[in-house]
Structures are given as C-alpha cells and as structure tokens.
C-alpha cells in the first residue's frame, strides 16, 4: 500500500436509470465519475441542478446500485458486503438533506426521532437512547430541551440542526451533506456552516459537501470537484 489511502474512493462509476424522469429509457445520470477523498477532508461537489450530484451521493452510500465502476469506503468495495458488514457501513456514513423537515415524522418529538436512529441499529436502552438524543441536541447548539419539541415548532435553521444531530447520533466517520444550507437564509447559512466546521474538527469527520453554489463550496471545502451532465 502506498501513501495515504482515501476514505472515499470512487472509480469510474456510472449510473443508468432504466427510465429517466422525462420517460426516456436508459438515462445516464452519472457518467464515469472518479473522485477520492481523504480522511478529515471537506470535499465539495458542485454542479447545476440535474448534473448528477445527488445520484453520486446515493451511489457512495449504496442507496442506489451502480451500473458500472466501483466505490471503496475505507479501502473496502461496498457493492457486495455481507449483511452484517452492510449494517456497519450504514452507521459509518450518514447524510444530511436540504430539507430536513420533509424527512422528520411530524408525529414524533425530536427526541423520539433521534432515539429511533439508535433503536433502528439495536443500540442502547430506551433511557440511554433518550440521553444520547438530549446530548447530541446540546452539541448542535439547540439545547436538550428541544427533545420534547415537534418538527413543526422549529425554524429552518433549527430543523437543519436536528438533521445534523440525526446524522451524528450514530457517530459516523463520513457525512454526506446534500445542499445542507441551500434552503436557508444567508445569515442562518453562516451559522450552520460554522456549526459544521466545529463538529468536523471535534469529531475528525470527513465531509462530502454537495452544492450548486460555488461560493459556498469555495469557502467551506478543502477541494472542489465540478459535475456537468453526469460527468
């Protein structure tokens, strides 16, 4: 083995959807993409809407299956993991979406939602999960009292803090941030970016930061890759 092994290694990956969103068959959303990201790095992936950024993120997380190529995480190809290795993989890499509210269950308190992430992975007891939920809410600077709130009671910035808390409660090594500040006001954007920087430093996280805004990415990321029509 030579030098430093990337934590994320995407090698000539393509994704062809059977049917595109406009009904065309064999739509190539990602076309022969390669990129590698080092541990602790913040890698920016920029491109206009529809260029294949989110599909690339989903390929890296194995939320969609590749058509060709290979993705290695920590040196291991992710395409034919055993069931238990896949469970470990699913904890190691987490995602924050543009619109966290859309993926929060409106009938659960924030604390219940966060505790459920741990329950889903068979971690802890009911009381330790609730403690962990309150603790992570402190760490994203919302405060543990927010555990008792419901999603509709939160502002945009507050719900994105919950989105970040939900990603971090499983203590991942890698966080994919898919347009994490694109829906927020500029002043709130800066607060969330500061929070993400602090959490990255504290936890040694590796970030794949996706955005259509080159300025945000230039400011936030160590390196930047550009996507255009899938490539």
Binding region for ligand ADP (CB under 6 A) = 17, 20-21, 27, 29, 47, 49-55
For residues 59 and 137, which CB has a smaller minimum distance to ligand ADP in the complex?
A: 59
For residues 97 and 146, which CB has a smaller minimum distance to ligand ADP in the complex?
A: 97
| DSSP character string of 12-71 | EEEEEEEE-TTS-EEEEEEEEEEEEE-TT-EEEEE--TTSSHHHHHHHHTTSS--SEEEE
**Could you tell me whether strands 76-77 and 206-211 are parallel, antiparallel, or unpaired per DSSP bridges?**
unpaired
Query: What character string, x for contact with Mg ion (CB under 5 A) and - otherwise, covers 24-63?
Result: -----------------------------xx---------
160 binds Mg ion (CB under 5 A): no
Smallest distance from the beta carbon of 145 to ligand ADP, in angstroms?
35
Whether 67 contacts 225, CB under 8 Å: no
Smallest distance from the beta carbon of 167 to Mg ion, in angstroms?
17
For residues 149 and 212, which CB has a smaller minimum distance to Mg ion in the complex?
A: 212
Contacts 24+ apart (CB under 8 A), 144-148: 146/110, 146/111, 147/109, 147/110, 147/111, 147/114, 148/109, 148/110, 148/111
The one of ligand ADP, Mg ion, none whose footprint includes residue 205, by CB under 5 to 8 A per kind, is none
Interface with Mg ion (CB under 5 A): 53-54
């Amino acid at each position: 083995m030579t030098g430093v092994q990337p934590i994320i290694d995407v090698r000539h990956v393509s994704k062809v959807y059977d049917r595109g969103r406009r009904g065309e068959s064999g739509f190539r959303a990602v076309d022969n993409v390669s990129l590698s990201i080092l541990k602790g790095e913040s890698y920016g992936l920029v491109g206009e809407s529809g260029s294949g950024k989110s599909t690339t993120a989903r390929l890296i997380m194995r939320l969609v299956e590749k058509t060709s190529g290979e993705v290695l995480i920590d040196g291991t190809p992710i395409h034919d993991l055993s069931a238990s290795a896949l469970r470990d993989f699913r904890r190691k890499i987490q995602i924050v979406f543009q619109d966290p509210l859309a993926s929060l269950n409106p009938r659960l308190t924030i604390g219940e939602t966060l505790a459920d992430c741990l329950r889903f992975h068979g971690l802890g007891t009911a009381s330790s999960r609730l403690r962990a939920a309150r603790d992570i809410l402190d760490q994203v600077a919302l405060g543990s009292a927010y555990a008792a709130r419901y999603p509709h009671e939160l502002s945009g910035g507050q719900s994105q803090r919950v989105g970040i808390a939900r990603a971090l409660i499983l203590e991942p090594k890698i966080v994919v941030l898919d347009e994490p500040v694109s829906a927020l006001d500029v002043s709130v954007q800066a607060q969330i970016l500061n929070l993400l920087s602090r959490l990255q430093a504290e936890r040694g996280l590796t970030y794949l930061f996706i955005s259509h805004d080159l300025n945000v990415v230039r400011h936030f990321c160590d390196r930047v890759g550009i996507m255009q029509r899938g490539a």
